[in-house]
Amino acid sequence: MKTVVHLLRHGEVDNPQGVLYGRMPGYHLSDLGHRMAEAVARHLADHDVAVVVASSLTRAQETAAPVAAEHGLEVTTDDRVIEAANLYEGLNVTANPVALAHPRHWAKLVNPFKPSWGEPYVVVGARMLEAVAEARDSARGHEAVIVSHQLPIWTARNALMGRRLWHDPRVRQCSLASLTTLTYDDDELESVTYSEPAAALLPRARKGAGA
């Protein structure tokens, strides 16, 4: 039995102040982000989507809404797919990009492999894989969509492909409103593919922005 689980990164966020918003409440999609969510919904319109899951963060819920509506579904909230916790949350990283290098933050940088400034990669990976397995089971023979965030999606992908979890954030293949698609034969992972249904809406240089 074939089952597909799509890991969908949320669309662009309205964040003119350049805050590292992480799990902070109140960060909505921008107008462009809403258009990106609609583009993904159109892309998945002819897919056999039976389950839509999203983290509780506003940007994830707003990205999931048009996908769920396209298939007459409700969005299930699951915070196993929430953004990773980060000790730098709330810093203005656009106006002051060297803020993270201030001496008061040095203690947080001692172990980039864990990482010491946030939720351990192994914890992120474990909770994501639990959520993926549950969505797969709920959508047996059909497709599920999980709306999550860049680091959790990339960590899940690395875990599923047997790769090391620590990495350079600049190499993540997980643009805004992208799909990391997991295809299962029963419980066996058959393939991992990647696509960008909303790529035309965002200049290449800005694709990695946000979280």
Can you spell out the DSSP letters for 153-207? HHHHHHHHTT--S---GGG----TT-EEEEEEETTEEEEEEEE-TTGGGS-GGGT
Amino acid in the structure at residue 180: T
Read off the pTM.
0.91
Q: What is the pLDDT of residue 8?
A: 98
pLDDT in tens, the chain (211 residues): 999 999 999 999 999 988 999 999 999 999 999 999 999 999 999 999 999 999 999 999 999 999 999 999 999 999 999 999 988 788 886 655 566 666 665 566 677 778 877 899 999 999 999 999 999 999 999 999 999 999 999 999 999 999 999 888 889 999 999 999 999 999 999 999 999 999 999 866 444 445 6
Instruction: Report d(CA 191, CA 47) in Å as an integer.
Output: 17
Q: What is the pLDDT of residue 126?
A: 98
Q: What is the pLDDT of residue 169?
A: 85
Domains and CATH numbers, the chain: 2-205 (3.40.50.1240)
174 within 8 A of 6, measured Cβ to Cβ: no
Three-class SS string for 41-92?
A: HHHCCCCCEEEEEECCCHHHHHHHHHHHHHCCCCEEECHHHCCCCECCCCCE
Q: What is the pLDDT of residue 132?
A: 98
Cα torsion 106, 111, 113, 114 to 10°: value is -100
